[in-house]
A and B are shown apart, each in its own frame.
Chain A
Amino acid sequence: QVQLVQSGAEVKKPGASVKVSCKASGYTFTSYNINWVRQATGQGLEWMGWMNPNSGNTGYAQKFQGTVTMTRNTSISTAYMELSSLRSEDTAVYYCARGDGSGSYWTHWGQGTLVTVSS
């Protein structure tokens, strides 16, 4: 069965960077886009960007241009999301999700990774 397993919770200081991983199993990793979505406590979902694991091509929400980088290691079927210049407002649960159909919806999600930014 399709599974996306994310790395564990992180605590970072303001100005630092964080890299969250998303290991895929149960399907051909390079055949489906990986998207990243975050959710601050008590807030709504926020789409951050997508990555094509086959080509490495990416597309980011304008808000995250310049601070987010999405990469992959196809040999271990793992996608990564790195967010730099962290601020307290970046404290959130970060999810990876597999793009299905035309990449327009997300059936399979990771369990979420809590990133806390605090001095």
Chain B
Amino acid sequence: QSALTQPASVSGSPGQSITISCTGTSSDVGGYNYVSWYQQHPGKAPKLMIYDVSNRPSGVSNRFSGSKSGNTASLTISGLQAEDEADYYCSSYTSSNTFVFGTGTKVTVL
């Protein structure tokens, strides 16, 4: 199972919106609505930001939103803030009853 493809880095100025893509295949992202997104700050455990494509857990800012089209899922961060600077990973359930992560995206707030 190959890792899902994400851009290595995305940057934006405070207040701007950015979008991170996560591209897989019809056997993972495209085949199931089980895509989740995680934020990870250095030295910390990952934190769930979006689950089942577009659902936001309690306590996560509504500046974070998720969507999916075909084999590509996306995470959008609106009103970018300094605290959003972190690594972001997508994950998807697969047809093999396993899971796969994306390659990870480093978000930089300029």
Contact = CB atoms under 8 A, between A and B. Distances in A.
Contacts, number: 65
A95 B91 CA distance: 15
B44 to A, nearest CB: 9
Given A59-B98, A101-B51, A104-B51, A45 B89 contact: yes
A75 interface: no
* Interface range for A: 20 to 34
Interface residues of B, number: 26
Interface in A90-119: 95, 97, 100-102, 104-107, 109-112
Nearest to A99: B99
Interface in B66-80: none
Interface string B32-66: 10101010100001111001100001000000000
A95 B45 contact: yes
Contact of B100 (A47, A95, A112): A47
A44 B104 contact: yes
A106 B52 contact: no
A5 to B, nearest CB: 12
A47 B45 contact: no
A105 B51 contact: yes
B1 to A, nearest CB: 6
Contacts of B52: 101, 104-105
Given A47-B91, A47-B101, 11 more contacts: A35-B99, A44-B89, A44-B102, A62-B1, A100-B51, A104-B36, A105-B36, A106-B36, A106-B38, A106-B46, A106-B48
Interface of B: 1, 3, 32, 34, 36, 38, 40, 45-48, 51-52, 57, 89, 91, 93, 96-104
9 contacts: A37-B46, A45-B40, A47-B98, A49-B98, A61-B98, A62-B96, A62-B98, A95-B45, A97-B46
- Can you list the 5 inter-chain pairs with the closest CB atoms, starting with the nearest? A104-B34, A105-B51, A105-B36, A109-B45, A44-B104
Interface of A: 35, 37, 44-47, 49-50, 59-62, 95, 97, 100-102, 104-107, 109-112
